[in-house]
Structure 1
Amino acid sequence: MDRGILLALVLVLLVVLLALLPLGWYARRRRQKDVVAPISAPTDLGTVVGSFAGKYVATTASGDPYDRIAVHGLGFRSAVTVTVSDTGVLLVRPGTPDVWIPRADLLSLQRATWTIDRVVEPGGLQLIEWTLGSRAVATYLRLDNPAAFEAALSPYLPIERQAS
């Protein structure tokens, strides 16, 4: 076979694969249409315990770090400011709606090493498990000061699920 023909076939295959990427993302969003949007943050957050800068990595289905939630602005990594208060946790990311996690919806706080497209040193990610509607989800964060964040959030978790 001529080299020109092989090159053309490879280029066509590459274009087809690149065209499938947005189609796959669209299909994921369509499959997740039943995922409810996070509720809006209250005007009064209560007593603010701390504010922490870092990176928002992903939100996935709880227990399945490969199943990224792609709807309601939860699908893309970005910078984040996490505010912990006595009434919940507020995630503020540029260009996306804020995510409010009420204290009653918090399930646990853990450390993680990896999720869908990020691998870090052991325990380098903070994983907040919470309920979004009737679905348990896990939000992965890479914060600049993880120990202070965990100390601020731990008192507001259910007793049996506090981080150690």
Structure 2
Amino acid sequence: MTRELALLVVVAVTLVLLGLGVWAWRRRARRDDGIVPPHGEVPAGAEVITTAHGFYVAATRHNQPLERLAIRGLAFRSRADVIVTDHGVAVDLPGAERFFLPTAQIAGADVATVAIDRVVEKGGLARVTWRPLAATDADALVDLYFRPQDSTARALADAIATLLPTPASTTPTGSDE
């Protein structure tokens, strides 16, 4: 095999692989096109609980940290400012419209160690689970991962968790006798 032929084979294989990658990403983007973060501002009069500056890492299916979602505006890593208020969570990403997750759409908040293409120290990522407006089942839950730089992931997750309703206690409070 001549050098020229070997070069052509390598270039052809590279182009095929790049084409397959583009094709797969476009299919993923079409699949996730129905998942739209609720764009909007923080409601007037909302009390800021905390803010965190750092990085937005990824959006994945709930409890599937290696299954990236290609949500418009949330498909790629970037810097992020997270504002937790008593009405929900606002997220500012450079070059994107602010989105606001009202408390009613937030299903959970916790810490994580792994998200697609990112592994950090134990509990180094804050994970916010939310329900898109068109969601009809538990499979539609989305996890957003943040890597705070000016606070801990635990502090951010705990601040968001304070917004969630506490489950009703099933522990008896009196005697049935």
CA distance in structure 2 between the partners assigned to 1:70 and 1:110 by the alignment:
22
Q: Which runs of 5+ in 1 are unaligned?
A: none
Identity of aligned residues (%): 35
CA distance in structure 1 between the partners assigned to 2:148 and 2:8 by the alignment:
46
CA distance in structure 2 between the partners assigned to 1:27 and 1:104 by the alignment:
30
Kept in 2, the 8 Å contact 1:108–1:158? The answer is no
CA distance in structure 2 between the partners assigned to 1:12 and 1:45 by the alignment:
59
Map 1:57-76; keep pairs closer than 5 Å. 57-76=57-76
Kept in 1, the 8 Å contact 2:33–2:72? The answer is no
CA distance in structure 2 between the partners assigned to 1:43 and 1:9 by the alignment:
58
- Shift, 1:157, TM fit: 2.0
CA distance in structure 2 between the partners assigned to 1:103 and 1:49 by the alignment:
13
Map 1:1-164; keep pairs closer than 5 Å. 1-44=1-44, 46-133=46-133, 134=135, 135-144=140-149, 145-146=151-152, 147-160=154-167
- Shift, 1:148, TM fit: 3.4
| TM-score (norm. length: structure 1) | 0.88
More strand by share: 1
SS at match of 2:59: strand
CA distance in structure 1 between the partners assigned to 2:65 and 2:75 by the alignment:
13
SS at match of 2:131: strand
- Which amino acid in the other structure matches residue 136 of structure 1? L
CA distance in structure 1 between the partners assigned to 2:41 and 2:110 by the alignment:
23
SS at match of 2:46: coil
- Shift, 1:68, TM fit: 1.8
- Shift, 1:29, TM fit: 1.0
Kept in 2, the 8 Å contact 1:108–1:130? The answer is yes
CA distance in structure 2 between the partners assigned to 1:82 and 1:4 by the alignment:
53
Moved over 6 A (4+): none
CA distance in structure 2 between the partners assigned to 1:11 and 1:63 by the alignment:
38
- Which amino acid in the other structure matches residue 155 of structure 2? A
CA RMSD of aligned residues (A): 1.8
Q: 1:124 to 1:34 in 2, by over 3 A?
A: same
- Which amino acid in the other structure matches residue 141 of structure 2? A
- The count of corresponding residues between Structure 1 and Structure 2 is 160
- Matched with 2:173 is none
